[in-house]
Chain A
Amino acid sequence: MDEFVKVSNLVKNYGNLCAVDNLSFSVRKGEIFGLLGPNGAGKSTTINILTTLTEYDKGSVSVAGLDTVRDRNRVKAFIGTVPQDIALHPFLTARENVRFFASLYGLKGKKLKEEADRALAFVGLEEKGDVRTNRMSGGMKRRLNIACGIAHRPGLIVMDEPTVGVDAQSRDLILRSILTLREEGATVIYTSHYMQEVEEICDRIAIMDRGAMVACGTEQELVALATDRKTYEVEGKLPAGLDRSGLCGRILLLPDVKDARFTEREGRCVLEVATALEFDGFMQLLQLLEREKVTLRGINTREPNLDAVFLALTGREMG
């Protein structure tokens, strides 16, 4: 099935505020789909509509061919939700929490116990099963929050910023577990405003801003959309009496070089060379610099990232 989740022309207004503005996208079965956008972009609103929590004004949403309004209960049974705000019973232990929420999906008896333990182990909390939630650290709660959403083995897992406020270690664990979920056959929709995370795990990414879709595709596609160049930052000692503009002119003659200039950075002089994404003249550039007696101290490659994509597409910084 190519369009496992299909959102078309979705509109949601809160009074005058348009939280989701004519949004369309589709998610394929078995992929991790990232929904990226700054605070207030409408990510959570979209997610809540998908999980049937919020009503929408226009458009249509379907999951596995089922309409989320008409077949609400069947859709619900199919989805595992990891809400943005931690949703746990503070006075129950980790295991009791997972069992409680899994029981809402109809799991019972032995199966319930097994699945709860599996979910706990999945997020690395098997040893903390008997710890009360209100005595857990923030990162542990985040992981438990995930466990509670996946214990019933949902086909579609919807995660709303599951890594907010956790340390690098917990975050790695969470990201790895999401990859495992995909290997087990689940489809994952993942929202975040951290570029890195999304770049790391998502197969395809949709960038949202002010309720509308800015761009959608694989990381490479998005990058290619926004910019056709990458930048080398060359640091080094320049020989006395160097003709800077002359050097820049000669660099510009190299194939696929789009720009070359000297800039000051933290009191040091840096040569910035912008090239096409596929730049084959790197050796030639180095040879040229050597001929000019530039003592090289280091070269940085600045690959364009989603931040740059966002900046390019909306004219604003992300986050």
Chain B
Amino acid sequence: MQIFMAVWKTFYRQKANLFFTVFFPSILVFILGTLLEQWNTAEQRIPEIKIAYVAEEDDPAFLKFLKETERQGLLETERVQEKEAALEKIDGRYAAVLCRETGGELVLYQGADSVANRTLQMLLEGYSSMERAAALSLSQGVVPKEASADFVTGERLGVERSMIDYYAVSCLVMILFMGGCIGGANAIYEWKKDGVFLRTAVSPAEKTKVFCMAVLGHFPMVFVEEAAVMACSALLFGARYGKGVLENLALLLFFFVVGITLTAFGMAAGLLLRCQPVAVMMPLSWTVLFFSGSFAQLKIDGITQLMPAWYIQEAAFDLTLFGNYTRALSVGGICLVCFVALTAFGAALFCRKRNI
């Protein structure tokens, strides 16, 4: 208990911590969000998504669907005959290529533009579920009424989204990385430097317990960090996260799990490192975050997918933008497993260390 309190007190008594973990990130959300708002909206307006489609049969419903989306300004479509030739032009002329196979199956060849991909995916999912629904109605003898043309317009995703929202999420990921890895490693470093290790080593206290308590001591810190950043950027700068209270709570919980995992990682790394941990952890987290596209919407195939931060971010976006919990659940689950493993690893390291 004393250990738990010590970690917590050490955190909140450092004024610099407060600034770096709460205020600074909120400002960053705001600055990045507003600055990039202008560029990005122009770049990613949905009408700019241009796709090629190959239809092997003239399926009237499908063609009508594409025409409608075009009419609403959602997509720009172009029918092509040569699938292979069109595929070559992905990321050039077209954002993606859509194939209506003979059996009615839809195949989407995606490009690198993740916003376009997501939009298309959504549209197509909507379409195919509608098809299924229509088939069901028909089989039961009900002729579906023609849907009113502007039935979906204006609704969009339910919430107006801005770049601030995007950065609010990616900044949180950033804070968790920085705060978790660096904070965890630094706490260990300071314990080493301040001789807490030494006194622990000469005391009969059980080392595993001491280490676990130290990890536990970071819990409130992680929670306060993320909750404060979320509250701050939401209240002061109008960033929005999830759609409702439930989504936001889920997001908070999700980020909390991520945060403690990163802290455990930082602490284990802090035990391994001999030098000032910031010197290693800082570039490390920046690199990971950079390749995960947390700063700019940079995405490099093959590298980005290797970055843990990317998965965390994607899961968070799924949760906030689409209200989809599956990814958050699986990433959160993996995080929990990692957390336990890292804590055990750290405790083992801590026990072995006697010479300081």
Interface residues of A (CB under 8 A from B): 51-55, 73-74, 76-77, 79, 81, 83, 85-92, 96, 99-101, 103-106, 132, 148
Contacts and interface: CB of A to CB of B under 8 A. Distances in A.
Nearest to B12: A91
Contact of A104 (B199, B354, B356): B199
Given A87-B195, A90-B194, A52 B9 contact: no
B204 interface: yes
Nearest to B203: A104
29 contacts: A52-B354, A53-B355, A74-B204, A77-B203, A77-B204, A79-B202, A81-B199, A83-B198, A87-B198, A87-B199, A88-B195, A89-B6, A89-B194, A90-B194, A91-B9, A91-B10, A96-B5, A96-B9, A100-B2, A100-B3, A100-B6, A101-B203, A104-B199, A104-B203, A104-B205, A104-B210, A106-B204, A132-B13, A148-B199
Contacts of A89: 6, 10, 194, 196
Contacts of A53: 198, 201-202, 354-356
Interface in B107-133: none
B137 interface: no
If over half of A's interface residues share one DSSP class (helix, strand or loop), that class is named, otherwise mixed; here it is: loop
Contact of A73 (B1, B3, B200, B204): B204
Contact of B196 (A54, A87, A103, A106): A87
A89 B187 CA distance: 11
Nearest to A87: B195
Contacts of A105: 203-205
A77 B205 CA distance: 9
Nearest to B1: A103
Contact count band on B: 20 to 34
Contacts of A55: 354-355
B14 interface: yes
A99 B195 contact: no
Contact of B9 (A54, A86, A88, A92): A92
A83 B195 CA distance: 9
Interface in B1-47: 1-3, 5-6, 9-10, 13-14
B10 A101 contact: no
Given A76-B202, A91-B10, A85 B355 contact: no
Contacts of B202: 51-53, 76, 79, 81
Contacts of A103: 1-3, 205
A85 B198 CA distance: 10
Contacts of B200: 104
A135 to B, nearest CB: 11
Most chain A beta carbons < 10 A, residue from B13, B14, B202: B202
A88 B197 CA distance: 10
A103 to B, nearest CB: 4
B262 to A, nearest CB: 22
Which 8 pairs from chain A and chain B are nearest by CB? Answer: A87-B195, A104-B203, A104-B205, A103-B2, A77-B204, A76-B204, A91-B10, A91-B13
A278 B208 CA distance: 61
Given A53-B355, A91-B9, A91-B10, A76 B203 contact: yes
A161 to B, nearest CB: 14
Contacts of B196: 87, 89
Nearest to A90: B194
A92 B6 contact: yes
Interface in B201-220: 201-205, 210
Nearest to B354: A53
Residue of B3, B9, B200 contacting most chain A CB atoms (<10 Å): B9
B303 to A, nearest CB: 39
A89 B1 CA distance: 16
A101 B9 contact: no
B276 to A, nearest CB: 16
